[in-house]
Amino acid sequence: MTQPDSPSTLPPEPVAAPAAPDRGSSDSLALAFLVACGLLAAPLLFAARLPQGLLAIIALALLAVFVARGLLTRSLLPRTAVDWPNLLLLLLLPVGLWASTDRATSWPVIYKVVAGFAIFYGLAGLAGARWMRTLPWAMLAAAAGLALVVLLGTNWMTAKLSWIPDAAYALLPRLYLPWRTEGFHPNVAGAAIAWLFLPAVALALWAQDRRLQLAAAASALLLGLVLLLSQSRGAWLGVSLALLAMPVLRYRRWWVTVAALLAVALAIGLVWRFGLAQGLFFPAPTGEELAVNTLPGRLELWTRALVMLGDFGLFGIGPGQFEQVVLVLYPPFFTGLQGNFFHAHNLFLQAAIDFGIPGLIAMTALLLGVGAAIAAATRQWAAIPQSGRTPAAWAVGVFGSLTAFVMHGLVDSPQVAPPSYVLLFALFGAGMAAASQLLAEPAAGQTPEPPA
């Protein structure tokens, strides 16, 4: 008879692996957090039309959502590279309200910042969740829908560039929007469409899924048409530079090509003469073209903004009051006394005027942090695993949106309108989700380290 193996010769029993966290519950929590942030942020875009009591309840509900997330995950905020600039912007809101002399004007700006904060972290919280595979599709669908609304709901002004015929606009039916009967402003529409156009281009070029590439190409064509019709020269300039900058993240030696192209463009500009370039981007005012859209008009507003900062010190004048203060204390001569210039037409000056020098520091740090995080996440494209190529393409597209926003923001303040501000922070949040996921994943050919 065969004797049973002695205890010394028995194979060792396998040691049970440590229990993995419940991926399904974390995915559900990430989606629930995003939905709650989105639903509560949406009414804040209409703060100028809603009662203060309801807005306060919504703000408290948002706070409760973040507290609930903190209790469930031991972290109030999804961790990103720009947490302290976001928190600084939030902490400056009561300071801006204190500095304001017209709180009815300032409240919508304050709620706009709260909504942007919420939607940023709602999307940033998707990092690592299975919903990241759905995010590019959802963003493309939203971009195409928004492009159609903008195409039919914009109050097109056609006096800027004569080579775009008026007949093209006459063919478009008009979509009546109950909450904005006057229609969208073309410059605001052009900026928003530019931000959405660049991620669509990046996905069309570098996404891993062929079907996603085709959908992104179709979306980019529609967005490009609306961008062209907007005649927003600042948006065009931002998109042009972004299309040069995005390949630098994809092809590391592309910067040589970019430098050469910029040198050629500078040489052409010098030969072409500054006056002609000025006529393209800042033409002389006409019956439909406001003086504020000319170079003297911009310079007049920028100089008044700088003087205003010197007069009002560290914390600015309070959010949303630039036009009121200019008309009372610094009457403009070229742009006239009727107003309708609304803001400083420079994103950095506007941040400093609304929330003082700390606001300027927070906004600058936020933009630098988002750009640096995306650059770090896509630094070694060849080492990114196949599953990470689509998030990497999306992150590169958001870097393009950031570039276009900054360049356009040198001659305008495209983030002033609440929907534009929230859209911008939604793109930043989605870009940070992709960057965080790429930085957390092991490179191709590597295996993750076992848990300690």
pLDDT for position 1: 47
Output the CA–CA distances (angstroms, integers) from residue 78 to 139, 153, 171, 391, in the order listed. 20, 36, 46, 18
pLDDT for position 18: 41
* 300 vs 163 pLDDT, higher one: 300
pLDDT for position 133: 92
pLDDT for position 82: 95
Q: pLDDT band at residue 134, thresholds of 50, 70 and 90?
A: very high
pLDDT for position 45: 93
Least confident of 143-147, 237-241, 273-277: 273-277
Q: pLDDT band at residue 261, thresholds of 50, 70 and 90?
A: low
Q: How far apart are CA 354 and CA 362, in angstroms?
A: 12
- CB-CB contact of 205 with 393 (8 Å): yes
pLDDT for position 202: 95
> Does the pLDDT of residue 16 top 60, yes or no?
no
Q: pLDDT band at residue 197, thresholds of 50, 70 and 90?
A: very high
pLDDT for position 153: 85
Q: What is the pLDDT of residues 398-407, one digit of tens each?
A: 999 999 999 9
pLDDT for position 339: 64
Q: pLDDT band at residue 445, thresholds of 50, 70 and 90?
A: very low
**Cβ-Cβ contacts under 8 Å for 93 (sequence gap 6 or more):** 110, 113, 114, 355
pLDDT for position 239: 93
pLDDT for position 62: 96
What share of the chain has pLDDT > 70, as a percent?
A: 80
Q: How far apart are CA 22 and CA 177, in angstroms?
A: 44
Q: How far apart are CA 90 and CA 215, in angstroms?
A: 37
Least confident of 74-88, 172-186, 211-225, 228-242: 172-186
* 441 vs 308 pLDDT, higher one: 308
What is the pLDDT averaged over residues 184-208?
A: 92
pLDDT for position 289: 47
Q: What is the pLDDT of residues 360-396, one digit of tens each?
A: 999 999 999 999 999 999 988 878 888 789 999 999 9
pLDDT for position 272: 53
* 135 vs 262 pLDDT, higher one: 135
Q: pLDDT band at residue 173, thresholds of 50, 70 and 90?
A: confident
- As a whole number of Å, the CA-based R_g of the chain is 25
pLDDT for position 409: 93
What is the pLDDT averaged over residues 290-304?
A: 78
Q: How far apart are CA 57 and CA 51, in angstroms?
A: 10
Q: pLDDT band at residue 263, thresholds of 50, 70 and 90?
A: low
Q: pLDDT band at residue 295, thresholds of 50, 70 and 90?
A: confident
What is the pLDDT averaged over residues 240-250?
A: 88
> Does the pLDDT of residue 113 top 50, yes or no?
yes
- CB-CB contact of 232 with 430 (8 Å): no
> Does the pLDDT of residue 287 top 60, yes or no?
no
Mean pLDDT over the full length of the chain: 84
What is the pLDDT averaged over residues 175-190?
A: 79
Q: What is the pLDDT of residues 320-367, one digit of tens each?
A: 999 888 888 888 887 766 667 788 889 999 999 999 999 999 999 999
pLDDT for position 44: 95
**Cβ-Cβ contacts under 8 Å for 91 (sequence gap 6 or more):** none
